[in-house]
Chain A
């Protein structure tokens, strides 16, 4: 019993220590961010391309189908109340405030987050980060911060693309397939969706971008430098990001209602 209590105590202590290190690591990223953003913008642009442009296909395909599903579900449910013309509003709220940021963040974790974590983990395993240290180059500034910023910048852009393509998907299904009136579809959306609704989506995607990028670079940087260690770091990136995104989503939604 005493042994069990000691184990729990040590696990708890280790968790608190890790969480503290995680937060200090975030401060290091933030501390170096302005300098990298202004002096090495080329590095950031490259990472925006890696995290953002290379994720575009998966984001657009998923956005299209999520929008299509919203069109089908919205139509079948709203038709019960003769409110199928409001399907545009229904889809716009769902996509801009919730599905756009959340699904983009989950897809980002799976595509760009894993790529970041495994790339950094492999750089560590093959001594590339140590080599930088020996060349008097700080790997946090040179490798981690540009990747972190790349993710933070790419996420809101990807979420915007997801929402836009999603609305197009809803339009295809509702207007072209189910014959909802095109005027009502767009007009009601324009009349009802406020800038605050858009802002909520932007806020969420920025928070999720920071969260997902922070977790990915942390996991990669702290990966055990073996094949198994890098694999575990990659898996943990997806799992922790998914949980963190959903928790933050709940907190932000609760705060903004």
Chain B
């Protein structure tokens, strides 16, 4: 393995299919330590699936995924859970536990994995909630939060164990501009202040461009392009241009595969 120390996650020749449909077909990708890396691509290209493969919620049919030089497929359950404690993950919908308060949600990993006193847990949780601006919402229930607030609470929970790697799955979806701006700033601030590595899965080109150090554009099972946001914006590739500039038609067809329009309207397709 020719991994350099700064390669935190390395994916080699990854193949994964769901039923007969291939999701990844020989994907290679390296995520550097300390950077904010964006995984972008049209809907349905398997960005979230890739996150699940990295964290071994799914197992690839072929290929290897190294985290800090360790092949994640070789880990036993105990080692896997130890590895996951190095990760923090922000789910698309926040995934807060709905039967406990905001405070208890953030305290959850601490209560499960440490023997800290209640006083210390309270201190840590309030610090994390303060960092996302929601110290005042500690006693609220998840159902009382707006989408943006829920995601910020989830972010506080994701970083409460001081993870080495923070993963954001579509953090900008469905947020108003203010909440989106808050999350974008938080991603950058957390990454730099805590010295962690961030992975963002998103197709919000504008927001990702302001925060990512490096982006990978995933399409048709492989990395179609990679580089800094500026490099991707000025790329010559038709696919990259279509995606980065939000053009309706191009290599990624606007219309899903279908029989001829006229034939279908006239009912000839079923003959």
- Is this pair of chains taken from one and the same complex? yes
Report whether B95 and A130 are in contact in the complex, using a CB–CB cutoff of 8 Å. Answer: yes
Number of interface residues of B (CB under 8 A): 22
The listed residue (B91, B95, B96, B113) touching A136 by CB distance below 8 A is: B113
Find out whether the CB atom of B85 lies under 8 angstroms from the CB atom of A136: yes
Per the bound structure, the CA–CA distance linking A165 and B258 in Å amounts to 65
- Indicate whether A134 sits within 8 Å of B84 (C-beta atoms), given known contacts A126-B98, A128-B98, A142-B112: yes
CB distance from B94 to the nearest CB of A (A): 8
B55's closest neighbor in chain A, by CB?
A134
**Interface pair B89/A134, CB less than 8 Å apart:** yes
Chain A contributes a number of interface residues (CB within 8 A of B) equal to 13
A134 to B113, CA, bound (A): 13
CA distance A135 to B80 in the complex (A): 11
Is residue A7 within 8 Å, beta carbon to beta carbon, of the partner chain?
A: no
Contact (Cβ within 8 A) B89 A131:
yes
A126 touching B93, Cβ below 8 Å: yes
* CB-defined contacts of A181 to chain B, threshold 8 Å: none
Q: Is A14 an interface residue (CB 8 A)?
A: no
Cβ of A136 and Cβ of B97 under 8 Å apart?
A: no
Chain B residues positioned under 8 Å from A138 (CB to CB): 81
Given contacts A126-B98, A127-B91, A131-B91, contact A137 B109 (CB under 8 A): yes
- In the bound assembly, the distance between CA atoms of A236 and B81 in angstroms comes to 33
Alpha-carbon gap, A126 to B96, bound state (A) = 9
A221 to chain B minimum Cβ distance, whole angstroms, is: 15
- A-contacting residues, B66-122, CB 8 Å: 81-82, 84-85, 87, 89, 91-93, 95-98, 108-109, 112-113
B112/A135 in contact, CB under 8 A: yes
Let me know if B81 and A131 touch, CB within 8 A.
no
> Are the CB atoms of B87 and A134 closer together than 8 Å?
yes
Identify the closest chain A residue to B78 (Cβ). Answer: A136
* B residues less than 8 Å from A128 (CB atoms): 95-98
Instruction: Report the Cα distance A247→B112, complex, angstroms.
Output: 40
> By CB atoms of chain B within 10 A, which of A128, A133, A135 has the most?
A135
- Known pairs A136-B113, A137-B112, A142-B112; A131 contacts B95 (CB<8 A): yes
Smallest Cβ distance from A197 to chain B, in angstroms? 40
- A residues 98-149 touching B (CB-CB < 8 Å): 123, 126-128, 130-131, 133-138, 142
Say whether, besides A128-B97, A130-B57, A136 and B92 are in contact (CB < 8 Å).
no
Are A136 and B98 neighbours in the complex by a CB distance under 8 Å? no
- Complex contacts, A131 vs chain B, CB 8 Å: 89, 91, 95-97, 154
State A136–B95 Cα separation when bound (angstroms).
Answer: 15
Decide: B98 and A135 in contact? CB cutoff 8 A: no
Task: Find the A residue at minimum CB distance from B91.
Answer: A127
Min distance, Cβ B174 to any Cβ of chain A, angstroms: 14
* A133, B87: Cα distance in complex, Å: 11
Question: A133-B84, A134-B89, A135-B84 known; A127 and B112 CB under 8 Å?
Answer: no
Among A123, A126, A138, which residue has the most Cβ atoms of chain B within 10 A? Answer: A126
Please give the distance in Å from B229's CB to the nearest CB on chain A. 27
Cα distance A123–B82 in the bound complex, in angstroms:
24
Q: List 30 A-B contacts (CB under 8 A).
A: A126-B93, A126-B95, A127-B95, A128-B95, A128-B97, A130-B57, A130-B91, A130-B95, A131-B89, A131-B91, A131-B95, A131-B96, A131-B97, A131-B154, A133-B84, A134-B84, A134-B89, A135-B85, A135-B108, A135-B157, A135-B161, A136-B81, A136-B84, A136-B85, A136-B112, A136-B113, A137-B108, A137-B113, A138-B81, A142-B112
